[in-house]
Structures are given as C-alpha cells and as structure tokens.
Amino acid sequence: MAEPITVADPEDPRLRDYTGLTDVELRRRREPAEGLFIAEGEKVIRRAEQAGYAMRSMLLSAKWVGPLRDVIDAASAPVYVVDPELAERVTGYHVHRGALASMARKPLPPVDEVLRTVGRGGAGEEPAVRRVALFEDIVDHANLGAAFRNAAALGVDAVLLSPRCADPFYRRSVKVSMGAVFQVPWTRLESWPGEVATLRAAGFTVAALCLSDRAITLDELAARDDERLALVFGTEGAGLTPGILDAADAHVRIPMDAGVDSLNVAAASAVAFYATRPRPS
C-alpha cells in the first residue's frame, strides 16, 4: 500500500512531471521525449489505468486520497498530496478536479498492426477493423480530443494521425476526450500521404471529407456501405492537402443549409462516423 507523501515545496524535484502544464510548447517537447502523459480527474485516471498504462506518480489534493485509494493501492506509485495553492504554483493553473496522475506511454504500434486490431464487434469472418478515422494536421488539442471521443462512441475501430497532428495524449486532449484516447487503437503515420497505399492494400476505401467539385454527398457514401472505410479529415482553415485529395478514392461533402459551408472538424467527424457506421448483417 503506497502511503501518501505531503509536499509543501513547489520546487520539490519529485513534482517535476507536473511543472508548467499550461506551457504547450514545453509539454509537447517533454512528454513524448520522457515517455509520459498527464491524466486529469478521477474518471480519466481510472480509464488510463484500466487501459493498461503504468502510473509514475499522482498529485492529489487531500480530499481525493480516499476516493482514489483503490487506484493508489493497485498502482504502487508515489502519491504526493498538496494543497490547491501549491498545485496551482506547480502546474500553472487551478487544478479544480484536484487529481492528476503522471502515466507512462506505450510505444506506438505500426500501422498494419492497428489495422489488424480486433474491432469491438469481434472479428468472425469479417475484417477485424472496418472503420478508420484519419486526421491530417489537426493541431487544436481540444478538437482532436473531441474527435477521439466521437470515434469511441460511434463505432470507429482505429485512428491514424498524420505526422504533424497534435498529440492526443496532451492533457487537454485527454481531458476533452474523457479518456476516450485510451479506448481507440491509434498510431502516427510516418509517411503521408504515402500510407494511403497501405490502407488501400488492406482493402480500405479512402474517403476525403472536403469541398470539391467531384465530391459526392455523405448520404451517397453511406448508401454504399463499404466493407472497410477510412474517413480523412483536415484542418478547418486550409482543409486537406493536395496530396491526400489526389490519393483518395472518393471526395465526400456533408450537405449544408443557411449558407454554412463547413463544420468544426469534431462536429463533422461525429456526423460522418454516425452516417457511415457499418450496418447490421
């Protein structure tokens, strides 16, 4: 049983994992390099633990020691108890949820392994992974976290990220996703858009969500009920790059009313995931 350790010095080196959590550039450099990420709030911490991520330490306000006692005992990692003012000095913001955990990352799997991962419906005689979401250059952490939550909720089996995409394990992404980033298998592509060939070789139709003259409607795509489908989403500003637009098998648009030409990427992904979910056989 790990015994909580009260810490009163914000410069204590044992709290290093939690310093400057609002400094995006610092955390973007440090966290992947040091193999860690930060989980915030009881639900997210529990989901990270249940997904098999090893705990490095916890930073808690006193009121959370009891509710998280089972997690503390199971993890056998050091638990640092601090008052809210000290937590704010260390992290750079008011930790209103009162519970943070530093977790160890796992190595990212290769693309072909992610595409073979058994989907939540079971493999049987059908492909294990039938629906894939691919995000190109999404740099907003909140949007990426929301998109992961949509993927988990709406039957997407795996997520692929282009090399320049934001880190889904950055604290804000994890928080917005409510821990869904731990539920959906994902990896980062090394070659983009070259990896389209990998998807196609695995039997996927690659559909790019965009506004183009040759775009079919989302309803038309859904009516085809492709056996294996990869939906590609780009940034709100520039949209998808010419390379993926040229490589995609289909261009797809979501019909809009009232003069609106596009949705936020998180909203668009939710609509597309729902519309194209596999039909019951």
Q: What's the sign of the alpha-carbon dihedral 163, 166, 168, 170?
A: positive
Please tell me the predicted confidence (pLDDT) of residue 96: 81
Please tell me the predicted confidence (pLDDT) of residue 126: 52
Q: Residue 18 gets which letter from DSSP?
A: G
Please tell me the predicted confidence (pLDDT) of residue 154: 96
Please tell me the predicted confidence (pLDDT) of residue 116: 85
CA angle 199–117–169, rounded 5-degree value = 90
Q: pLDDT under 70 in the chain at which residues?
A: 1, 117-127, 259, 281
Please tell me the predicted confidence (pLDDT) of residue 127: 56
DSSP letters, 93-116, are S--TT-EEEEEE--PPPPHHHHHH
User: Cα dist. 176→86, 117, 162 in Å?
Assistant: 24, 25, 20
CB of 178 closer than 8 Å to CB of 204: no
- Report which secondary-structure segment, H or E, holds 91: helix 84-91
Please tell me the predicted confidence (pLDDT) of residue 223: 96
Please tell me the predicted confidence (pLDDT) of residue 250: 97
Angle, to 10 degrees, between the axis of helix 265-275 and the axis of helix 141-153?
Answer: 10
Beta pairing class for 229-233 and 205-209: parallel
- Angstrom distance (rounded) from CA 173 to CA 167: 8
CA angle 270–274–277, rounded 5-degree value = 135
Please tell me the predicted confidence (pLDDT) of residue 76: 86
- Separation of CA 141 from chain center: 9
- Angstrom distance (rounded) from CA 167 to CA 150: 17
pLDDT digits (tens, 9 = 90+) for 229-242: 999 999 877 889 99
